[in-house]
Structure 1
Amino acid sequence: MIAVQFGLGLEYDTGYQPSVAMNASGLAVEVHQSEGASSKLWSRVGRIEGLSVIWGPVAHFDEGEPAHCALNNAGVVVEVHASNGFLSSGLWYHVGSASPSGIEWGGSNKYDSGAQPAIAINDAGDVMEVHKSQSNSGLWYRTGKVTGKTIAFNSSVSFGNGSTPKVALNNQGTVVVVYQGGGSDLLYAVGHLRDGKQSFGPARSYDQGAAPSVALSDDGLVVEVHESQTLNGLWQRVGRVVGDSIEWIGGATEFDNGAKPSVAVSGNRAVQVHQGELAARSLWSSVSLLADRAKWMENNMPVLGSRRLGEIVMSASHDAGMYEGNVAGLTQNLDMYDQLSYGVRYFDLRPSKFINDFYIYHGFAAIRGPLLSKVLDDVAKFMSEGHRELVILKLSHYSSLVSEAVDLAGKATKAILDVDKPDLSLFNQMVYRELANLVESKIGKWLVKEKAEKPLRDLSLAELTQNGGRVLVVCDGGYPLDIKRDGLWVYRDWQDGDANKGDLIVYDQYSNTTSFSDMQSDQFKNFKEYTGKCKSVDHVCDMFLLSWTLTPATAVWLYSKEANRELAASLGTLSIPNSHKQIVNLLYVDYVQYSRATDIALLLNHLPGFAA
């Protein structure tokens, strides 16, 4: 299903209540009010490049309360705002011409009285304006037509009660209005504009929150963003217009912190801008692809099918199973099913045996996450839906709480373990067999088991998935060599002395720092020097993993935010392939969805419709 994932934005200015618009040529327009007590209104243009907005200089164009803008494919931009001051209630508009060099605005024209205006325009020059009454909660709309640098508005029509209305209009004349009703209820209404006349269906409640914004594509795809009703979270959701209603695709998901979000769509991209969280007056923006991430391999098999693993870019999840459990070790907040649905295809899983169960852990076996069986059940759930995707599970860092207690204390005791009947066995071959049995019992029907005449690294994606979706399980250490199990392959790191024994060899070198700039420099240096050969043996290395992670003792979320915000823009400065004709294969991150790693992978794979 088509979904949006804006992730964490990048700061681009200071100000208050930004509004954004974009068109099919990748041109973006933004307007906002000055920070502080100033009533100055500012505008700028930018261009969408990959998953970034390259903003041009800002220009002052008027005075007033927060402005709202819209843009069509002819470069016609319209803007509305309210008069400045508590006692003023005038509503004003501008019409301008937008180009990469800036906006040529027409004059300021008063058209009504009210507050909180918003506007939309389509390629025919039809406009739809909405606003709130200056004295009560009544909501009003006006239709109109752009002629030159003016708008011929029709009379105002009442359509409901609420606040902060926003509107979207497409080239089929479909209109979507969203607004905040009583309390924290968010409502929408779908209408149709015909010959300058507007008709709305009934208002429908769809969520809880504040300050909603909406965008609408020509094929009826709806993208909505809003604030949390209490805290400072920002939320996104997608739906599709059906008649006079919207069929929402899943629920709302959080993408950043902040306030007063605004959204626009065109083609297969959406852009959002918002104000910083709490009292901050910083302005932030980000871009999302509109894509079916759950089926990104399957949907692009004509292009990807002939590629081998070393020729494909994937999003990768660091400590993928640490989405619940001990808060000190959390590195993700999506469970495995949701990570798979988001498009992650490489998972770092670290199993630990505790009493009679296997858990996922991080750092120390006592820092436990979910049961491994639960993680594998999520994989089975995703694969059972019929996705023709290749999923890679890397099992490594085998441990047990008992073995760590022995290492640390020299003995295992009931007091250390705080259990009635402690299992004093260390992680050994018997425990590995139990692990292998668990994997087989949960996802055996999807395991890559075909022992082809050519090595795993030489199999194409189409060959690996010729019988449907498959899970490639690779295991580190000596166990997979000593205990042969069909469906469990040998993993090796690039620097291992016996790397040539690996069925899958990955360059995986983390930077071991909490400094983003140091991590970025180190990872980029690693990639620039990567030759596609192993370090210690004369053998090909299959995949390069960009370890875009910081390594604090705890509070991974706080440290991951800067790295995730910067991933797309940073990769835009990196030459791929490098001078050795190698590419980045695995984008390895914490809190994967906030980094937009799957969208970046789609662009780096140079898939049709997703030009970088």
Structure 2
Amino acid sequence: MTLSIFLLPWFFVLSVQSRNYSTWMADNALLLSSKTLGSICLAATHNSAAYNLSNKVINTEAHESSFATFYSNLNNIANATGRSSDQLVRLFTAGIRAGSECTTKSIYSQLTDGNRALDLRLSVFENDIYTAHVLQGPSLSDVLAQVWKFLHATNGEIVFMTLGHPYGFNRTYIDRLTLLLDPFVTSGLAITPVAYPNDLLSYTYGQLVSKGHSRVIIVIDDTINPDLKSFFSTSLYSPPDGGSHKLYGSYTNTNNIDTVIDHQTANYAHARKISAPAAMYMTLTPTYNDMISIIVSTVVADFHPLMRPLVLAGLRAILASENMSDIDLTCTSLSDIYLRQNMISRRTSILTTIQSTSLSLTKNSIFLIYTDFYENNRDIIDLAISYSLI
């Protein structure tokens, strides 16, 4: 292990005390100037626009059968409980919201708080493009307006923005996507493949931030990328990287912290083996049993205590054909799962332990650190910044 690892705790505490999170890159421009983008570490919000989700469900057919069964039986549940269908939809979506929202902060707040990478999931809905996480989120135009505002409010910051998980797109909406993104390109705020044709992560901060302006890197799912000269490809720059060896990583599809540790440790080791910057995921994913438990607990809690056993029995009967495990009424939200697994308080120590397994850390080797609920503890943002300044 190099000296930088031993000095990191001292440097970490000293620098945090006087840090301006909204301008941390510009404030350290001299130090970052000769660093390649891949050796700068960016805190990334997972499902960045999964906040203030609406009551409108998008793409239920893409989810597990138990989820669709529950949704399709809302009228039966309404008849059995005496509630209106509208009331049941409200409770159903409130449960989905509790299990799907990954942050309480707006995109602009995420950026001013020091995050520099965004993960946006796009869905076509009601004749427009929205962000979504089961439920409809903010419109893409609203999200992009917040990014635009941040870029114009700062100088020397770089935002890495991925647009993925597309649903419902056709040529009409790909053209709509082009119109929404075009101002970033024509204004020169977008870092583009035509201007930087080599490995994006090999360019230095000084090369990417022209004339001190803040800039954005836009990475788009290959199936909806409207212009490969203007926008980077997810197959190259969104982990897992499809074998390009430019960026390596993948999220761990589990609600168990120990499984996350094992998988992310293996991912990091492989990234080091192929000499690629790593993308690390300090995230938990609710199982469908978790999601149904959250929804059921939300619905049941709205009834009079004397009615709850009857309502619960009815819900169990409706879901019996789905081979569901026992419903856990104590599971109330995604945040609750994080608390149960002690993820938020442990995620920094997990990452530092994983990285310390490297035999020779001569420079930072983590490019992206994805998290949910970063606002509960800015530890990941502080860690990412400290890694960037090694």
TM range (shorter): 0.5 to 0.7
Larger radius of gyration: 1
Distance 2:380 2:185 in 1: 26
1:529 aligns to what? 270
Distance 1:576 1:301, change over 3 A: farther
2:210 aligns to what? 466
Q: Give the TM-score normalised by structure 1.
A: 0.43
**Aligned-residue offset at 1:267:** 5.3
Which secondary structure state, in structure 1, belongs to the residue aligned with residue 266 of structure 2? helix
2:173 aligns to what? 431
Given that residues 528 and 579 in structure 1 are in contact (C-alpha distance below 8 angstroms), is that contact kept between their aligned partners in structure 2? no
Distance 1:490 1:321 in 2: 21
Q: Deviations over 1:319-350 (max 9, x none)?
A: 00112114242111110110000111111101
1:602 aligns to what? 385
Does residue 569 of the first structure (1) align with residue 344 of the second (2)?
A: no
**Aligned-residue offset at 1:484:** 2.3
Distance 1:599 1:304, change over 3 A: same
Distance 1:462 1:442, change over 3 A: closer
2:374 to 587, 592, 599: 592
Distance 1:588 1:509 in 2: 10
Which secondary structure state, in structure 1, belongs to the residue aligned with residue 219 of structure 2? strand
Q: CA RMSD in A?
A: 2.7
**Aligned-residue offset at 1:268:** 4.7
Which secondary structure state, in structure 2, belongs to the residue aligned with residue 396 of structure 1? strand
**Aligned-residue offset at 1:583:** 1.5
Does residue 484 of the first structure (1) align with residue 227 of the second (2)?
A: yes
**Aligned-residue offset at 1:462:** 1.1
1:520 to 261, 278, 281: 261
Which secondary structure state, in structure 2, belongs to the residue aligned with residue 350 of structure 1? strand
Which secondary structure state, in structure 2, belongs to the residue aligned with residue 397 of structure 1? strand
Structure with higher RCO (Cα < 8 A, 6+ apart) = 2
- The AA in structure 1 aligned to 2:19 is A
**Aligned-residue offset at 1:296:** 0.9
Distance 1:489 1:496, change over 3 A: closer
**Aligned-residue offset at 1:476:** 1.9
Higher helix share: 2
1:333 aligns to what? 104
Given that residues 295 and 389 in structure 1 are in contact (C-alpha distance below 8 angstroms), is that contact kept between their aligned partners in structure 2? yes
**Aligned-residue offset at 1:576:** 4.3
1:549 aligns to what? 283
Given that residues 317 and 347 in structure 1 are in contact (C-alpha distance below 8 angstroms), is that contact kept between their aligned partners in structure 2? yes
1:285 aligns to what? none
Which secondary structure state, in structure 2, belongs to the residue aligned with residue 565 of structure 1? helix
1:315 to 21, 38, 43: 43
Distance 2:352 2:199 in 1: 33
2:71 aligns to what? none
Does residue 559 of the first structure (1) align with residue 287 of the second (2)?
A: no
Given that residues 294 and 342 in structure 1 are in contact (C-alpha distance below 8 angstroms), is that contact kept between their aligned partners in structure 2? yes
Distance 1:50 1:597, change over 3 A: farther
- The AA in structure 2 aligned to 1:474 is V
**Aligned-residue offset at 1:368:** 1.2
1:275 aligns to what? none
**Aligned-residue offset at 1:603:** 1.9
Distance 1:572 1:456, change over 3 A: closer
Which secondary structure state, in structure 1, belongs to the residue aligned with residue 50 of structure 2? coil
2:201 to 435, 457, 468: 457
Does residue 376 of the first structure (1) align with residue 147 of the second (2)?
A: no
**Aligned-residue offset at 1:495:** 5.1
**What are the ranges of 5 or more consecutive residues in structure 1 without an aligned counterpart?**
1-47, 53-265, 270-288, 401-426, 534-539, 608-612
Distance 1:291 1:549 in 2: 26
1:355 aligns to what? 126
Which secondary structure state, in structure 2, belongs to the residue aligned with residue 526 of structure 1? helix
Given that residues 565 and 594 in structure 1 are in contact (C-alpha distance below 8 angstroms), is that contact kept between their aligned partners in structure 2? no
Distance 1:441 1:302 in 2: 29
Given that residues 241 and 248 in structure 2 are in contact (C-alpha distance below 8 angstroms), is that contact kept between their aligned partners in structure 1? no
Q: Deviations over 1:394-429 (max 9, x none)?
A: 0110013xxxxxxxxxxxxxxxxxxxxxxxxxx123
Q: Deviations over 1:179-201 (max 9, x none)?
A: xxxxxxxxxxxxxxxxxxxxxxx
Distance 2:149 2:240 in 1: 35
Which secondary structure state, in structure 1, belongs to the residue aligned with residue 338 of structure 2? helix
1:248 aligns to what? none
1:173 aligns to what? none
Given that residues 50 and 132 in structure 2 are in contact (C-alpha distance below 8 angstroms), is that contact kept between their aligned partners in structure 1? yes
Given that residues 376 and 443 in structure 1 are in contact (C-alpha distance below 8 angstroms), is that contact kept between their aligned partners in structure 2? no
- The AA in structure 2 aligned to 1:434 is R
Does residue 298 of the first structure (1) align with residue 298 of the second (2)?
A: no
Q: Deviations over 1:209-256 (max 9, x none)?
A: xxxxxxxxxxxxxxxxxxxxxxxxxxxxxxxxxxxxxxxxxxxxxxxx
Given that residues 576 and 584 in structure 1 are in contact (C-alpha distance below 8 angstroms), is that contact kept between their aligned partners in structure 2? no
Distance 1:512 1:487 in 2: 32
Distance 1:505 1:373, change over 3 A: farther
Given that residues 249 and 267 in structure 2 are in contact (C-alpha distance below 8 angstroms), is that contact kept between their aligned partners in structure 1? no
Q: Give the TM-score normalised by structure 2.
A: 0.66
Distance 1:547 1:359 in 2: 24
Distance 1:371 1:525, change over 3 A: same
Distance 1:510 1:353, change over 3 A: same
Distance 1:475 1:583, change over 3 A: same
Distance 1:453 1:462 in 2: 16
The sequence identity of aligned pairs, in percent, is 23
Given that residues 31 and 389 in structure 2 are in contact (C-alpha distance below 8 angstroms), is that contact kept between their aligned partners in structure 1? no
Matches within 5 A, 1:138-537: 268=15, 289-326=17-54, 327=97, 328-362=99-133, 364=134, 367-400=135-168, 427-441=169-183, 444-445=186-187, 446-449=189-192, 451-452=195-196, 454-467=198-211, 468-480=213-225, 483-484=226-227, 486-492=229-235, 493=238, 497=242, 499-500=243-244, 505-531=246-272, 533=274
Distance 2:228 2:270 in 1: 35
Distance 1:557 1:486 in 2: 40
Given that residues 491 and 505 in structure 1 are in contact (C-alpha distance below 8 angstroms), is that contact kept between their aligned partners in structure 2? no
Distance 1:301 1:484, change over 3 A: same
Given that residues 546 and 587 in structure 1 are in contact (C-alpha distance below 8 angstroms), is that contact kept between their aligned partners in structure 2? yes
Distance 1:268 1:396, change over 3 A: closer
**Aligned-residue offset at 1:573:** 2.4
Distance 1:299 1:583 in 2: 22
- The AA in structure 1 aligned to 2:136 is R
Distance 1:300 1:577 in 2: 28
